[in-house]
Structure 1
Amino acid sequence: MAVACPICNKPVKPTDINDHIDSGCTTLIFDPSTPIVPPQPQPSTQNGAAIPASQPQKRSASSFFTPTPKRQITDPGPKAHTPISNMTMRPKTLDDVCGQELVGTNGVLRSLIESDRVPSMILWGASGTGKTTIARCIAQVVGSRFIELNATSSGVQECKKLFQEAANDLQLTGRKTIIFCDEIHRFNKAQQDVFLRPVEAGTITLIGATTENPSFKVANALLSRCRTFTLRSLGTEDIVDILRRARKVEESVYPPSPLIDDEMMSYLARFSDGDARTALNLLELALSLTLREGMTQETMKQSLTKTLVYDRAGDQHYDTISAFHKSVRGNDPDAALYYLARMIQSGEDPLFIARRMVVIASEDVGLADNTLLPLATATYTATQQIGLPEARIPLAHCAVALCLAPKSTRAYRGLNNAFAALREPGVASLPVPLHLRNAPTRLMRDLGFGAEYKYPPNYKDGKVRQQYLPDELVGRTFLETRDLGTVVDHDYEMKDVPT
């Protein structure tokens, strides 16, 4: 009788399975002509009586070796042509990974991998930077069982089942299990918490991949049990190297064409904005266009998608609006227009941009020019009423006006000073002076509410001597006299000095 090896699927005697795996699946292979007996539950007894079939039965040791091919990565066999951006183009070794120093010759992550000290980790990086590729290479190097999950389609029960399988495999064969969870930020806190115990116990090694900032999207308890590695967006040369490799692989399907030269490769790499997956998709589209009669490079470029790489729900969304706001605050209309155009081109909600400009009109321009707040609110209304593409014009009008306007943060800073005072012990609960309190009832009037209040419009020039702050805050000021700060930027002071 033989069982199937969970790694190579070859027949092996149950008593030889550990030695077979230790040999790299090269020895102790059972006679192939002997049929493989599928795992059967072993009957057991309790107090001399057979356990009824309706009750759960213990599994034999051989039953734990049932392979799980639907989750394991296998080498693709011969098949019809598929998109070049699929797994056949993925690097098979760490040496083939482009543009990530973490797994380079002297990379921190690589040294951990090669010393077989792979920790549970979070790989944080933009789309197409190689998170999945690195995870698969890690599994190959350390020889661990590798399981892929996607947070958009996996549930808690499936995860718990995998944890149990991993524990059984570790106990019976000593083989570790790596679970790669793509888009782990899409799991909520309760779902992420199911990983805590198996990660803490070392039952699994978790590799989570996310395009979102882990500080905000990964539960603190899980984050503290994992190392966070940041992957940078790939450079143009890195993308070009990947495209050249893909082009060579595809020569059997798409004959060499002068249209796909180094200049076109560089164009596609720049257009992909550091995303290798986008670059490969663009290359495949370009290769298909080479088969059309009369195609030119200019026509090909015009045929490619013009949408920029931009995630309206991710870090790009926040980073770009932040850059826009800071460009306006810094009086740089050229940068502000660049980021405005980038957001509009990428499909950002124009009302989101208009709302931010209403805030800028008060936060940054403020008291220096009170006409900018009405302009910003009018821009919001215009954007709401006419929509894109026409709304881009009032958006640009308002953005440039905000850039060129004088700036004052007095009101904004004054409010922040008041909030700071409220954080002091007892300040938030100070009683309102009696003469400022409303007195709608006779009882309240008898208690002195509103007594001795001076109504300023009844007095000459509206001027009265009257206390408005609680007694404990008399003399405190929150609104400062200066519009802006006093720190001197020496880089700005030296900008006109010849070098």
Structure 2
Amino acid sequence: MDLFENNKSIKKNEPLAIKYLPKRLEEFVGQEHILGKEKLLRRAIEADKLSSVIFHGPSGCGKSSLVKVIANMTSAYFQEINAVISGVDELRKIVYQAEKRDKKTILLVDEIHHFNKSQQDCLLPSVEKGIITLIGITTENPYFYINTALLSRSLVFEFKKLDEADLNKIINRVADELKIHFLKEAVNHLVKYCEGDARRLLNAVEIGYTTTEKDKDGFVEFTLNVAEESIQKRVITYDKKGDGHYDTISAYIKSMRSGNVEDALYWLAKMLLAGEEPRFIARRQVIFASEDIGNNDPMAIVLATSVLKAVEFVGMPEARIPLSQATIYLARAKKSKEAYLKISESMEKVENEKIVDVPEELKNK
């Protein structure tokens, strides 16, 4: 079954990311951990028995695309709103109309993390009674933004960045459809720097395709240079799963440990430009703040944990700024490994020496 066979009739001037939206589950790429054969979510969609769900994950991984598939497959009345612009009055109207309807209503709430408590409370009774089947989609952690009552009445599914195989599948099918000859290094570059985001990948392919002349056979030669121009990223040698990953983070940590601010910032910049996960770097900063600084500067752990939260909240590219702030502070802070060494010694004692009973004067009496 051709992934794009249903898209032939779509207007030619539509962006590729819209043109190639899936219409059926068979056309959907990725998220096998929740949509694989016999998985609960897939069975619920196929049987048109979907209960309220929250889809969360990074941009371009298929949350909205899957909702479009559900809308195409369901016999229920489907309605879509955006949490940014929809207020309580609109929600009350939607609930009232759903109550009068003979069939089930599925309500998609895009960017549901923008809903305040009043908006969420307005939906809760109708979700609880089954009048409305809620589909909430968000790029944020729903456990931070959606109230417990609404979460307890929904199934939460995490969408993950598309992996290399998924992205290659998309590229191969676009290549066949549009008559594009992708050079191997161009494919590697696109896959690497779209960072698991299918929308970003398709946008880059579209820019390269529409701005490159076709050869005499009607094909577009998609070279590394075209790929770099299309996705606006230079090739930086860095293997996130190999030695480059561990060597670079090691250089970053050792530069901070030695107090070399400029070197630490260089390695930070290299990781970020190479597509390293910002939360990975922020977590290493938290560890460094306790392991290498500790009580010599208690503000170090406060700043590091705040930066971790900021990184999760704002995302890239803005996350580079708090990461830089923490890097400079941690590199300049006075160092101490006391916390790390003392707990290591104590754990070794517990593991290797006779267990000491709690003295009477220290017991809970």
Give the TM-score range, shorter chain.
Answer: 0.5 to 0.7
1:145 aligns with 2:72: no
Q: Tell me how far 1:234 sits from its aligned partner.
A: 0.8
**Distance in 1 separating the partners of 2:176 and 2:138:** 31
Partner in structure 2 of residue 441 of structure 1: none
Contact 1:336 1:400 in 2 (8 A): no
Partner in structure 2 of residue 105 of structure 1: 37
Higher relative contact order structure (alpha carbons within 8 Å, sequence separation ≥ 6) = 2
Partner in structure 2 of residue 303 of structure 1: 229
The residue type equivalent to 1:279 in the other structure is L
1:409 aligns with 2:339: yes
**Alpha-carbon displacement from aligned partner over 1:164-211 (angstroms, at most 9, x marks no partner):** 2222222xxxx2211111110011121111110110111111000011
Partner in structure 2 of residue 18 of structure 1: none
Distance 1:401 1:185, change over 3 A: same
**Distance in 1 separating the partners of 2:96 and 2:208:** 47
Question: Following TM superposition, where does structure 1 have runs of at least 4 consecutive aligned residues deviating by more than 6 angstroms?
Answer: 292-296, 331-337, 359-362, 367-370, 392-398, 400-403
Q: Tell me how far 1:218 sits from its aligned partner.
A: 0.8
Secondary structure of 1:91 counterpart? coil
The residue type equivalent to 2:60 in the other structure is G
Secondary structure of 1:279 counterpart? helix
Partner in structure 1 of residue 3 of structure 2: none
1:278 aligns with 2:208: no
Secondary structure of 2:157 counterpart? strand
Q: How does 1:211-226 map to 2 (within 5 A)?
A: 211-226=139-154
**Distance in 2 separating the partners of 1:191 and 1:234:** 32
Distance 1:340 1:408, change over 3 A: farther
Q: Tell me how far 1:298 sits from its aligned partner.
A: 4.1
Larger Rg: 1
**Distance in 2 separating the partners of 1:182 and 1:211:** 10
The residue type equivalent to 1:129 in the other structure is C
Task: Find 1:288's aligned residue among 195, 206, 210.
Answer: 210
Distance 1:484 1:129, change over 3 A: same
How many residues are treated as equivalent by the alignment? 293
1:365 aligns with 2:292: yes
Partner in structure 2 of residue 114 of structure 1: 46
**Alpha-carbon displacement from aligned partner over 1:87-127 (angstroms, at most 9, x marks no partner):** x3111111211111212212121122233331101011111
Q: How does 1:178-257 map to 2 (within 5 A)?
A: 178-249=106-177, 251=178, 256-257=179-180
Greater share of helix residues, 1 or 2?
Answer: 2
Secondary structure of 1:409 counterpart? helix
Query: TM-score when scaled to structure 1?
Result: 0.49
Distance 1:176 1:247, change over 3 A: farther
Distance 1:218 1:263, change over 3 A: same
Q: Tell me how far 1:483 sits from its aligned partner.
A: 6.7
Contact 1:94 1:104 in 2 (8 A): no
**Distance in 2 separating the partners of 1:345 and 1:264:** 16
Partner in structure 1 of residue 15 of structure 2: 83
The residue type equivalent to 1:112 in the other structure is A
Partner in structure 2 of residue 58 of structure 1: none
Query: TM-score when scaled to structure 2?
Result: 0.65
Secondary structure of 2:91 counterpart? helix
Q: Report the aligned-residue RMSD.
A: 4.5
**Distance in 2 separating the partners of 1:361 and 1:125:** 28
Unaligned runs of 5+ in 2: 1-6, 235-248, 276-280, 304-319, 349-365
1:159 aligns with 2:81: no
**Distance in 1 separating the partners of 2:40 and 2:62:** 16
